Structure 1
Amino acid sequence: MKNIFVTLLFLSTAALSAQEKKEKPKTQIVEASCGQCQFGMKAKGCDLAVRINGKTYFVDGTTIDQHGDAHAEDGFCNTIHKAEVSGVIKNDRFKVTTFRLVEEKK
């Protein structure tokens, strides 16, 4: 019985250590826009996408409509914006944790 307890204690400690070592998604400035209208990605409709290191990814975790009118003059379908984001790329999609448009200086 004592061996079982020690083994369970060891396994739970190892699991906690592994969770602590997981890297938090880094915050970075990326280009954000409509994947279809501005980045030439293939899909139906208009969907939010980001360009990271020259590669485009559709975004999961927020939508194009949560950031204003996509079809307005300054909307995602007509303009590429800068955004401060954090998240991970998984299955060729960007799983966003945070997404904030960066106001561009004129």
Structure 2
Amino acid sequence: MPGDDCQLAIKLDNKKYYVEGPNINDYGGSHSKNGFCKVVRKAQVQGKIVQDKFVASYFKLLP
């Protein structure tokens, strides 16, 4: 993703979208060993694409 910031994003149909709704730090430290800035995780999501962002109504990490 463009930029230097760690932001929550999803990949849907091989296209990447920043996520609005949940915060990256809602799921632990983003820079920890297993944080989102270091590893890719799978999740179940629901929401819609609005102006090239994914607006999440549901976001659950998978084990």
- Give the structure-1-normalised TM-score: 0.57
- Give 1 or 2 for the bigger CA radius of gyration: 1
Q: What amino acid maps onto 1:76 in structure 2? A: F
Change (3 A) 1:78 1:44: closer
Aligned residue pair count: 63
In 1, Cα distance between equivalents of 2:46 and 2:62 = 13
2:62 alignment partner in structure 1: 102
Identity of aligned residues (%): 37
Per-residue Cα deviation, 1:29-50 (whole angstroms, up to 9, x for no partner) = xxxxxxxxxxxx1135211000
Q: Structure 2: 5+ residue runs without aligned partners?
A: none
Moved over 4 A (4+): none
Deviation at 1:72, TM superposition (A): 0.8
1:85 to 27, 42, 45: 45
Partner-residue secondary structure (3-state), 1:81? coil
**Alignment map for 1:14-93 (pairs within 5 Å):** 41-93=1-53
Larger relative contact order (C-alpha < 8 A, sep ≥ 6)? Answer: 2
Give RMSD over aligned pairs.
Answer: 0.9
Q: Structure 1: 5+ residue runs without aligned partners?
A: 1-40
Deviation at 1:73, TM superposition (A): 0.9
Partner-residue secondary structure (3-state), 2:26? coil
Between structures 1 and 2, the one with greater strand share: 2
In 1, Cα distance between equivalents of 2:22 and 2:3 = 17
In 2, Cα distance between equivalents of 1:61 and 1:81 = 17
In 2, Cα distance between equivalents of 1:44 and 1:96 = 22
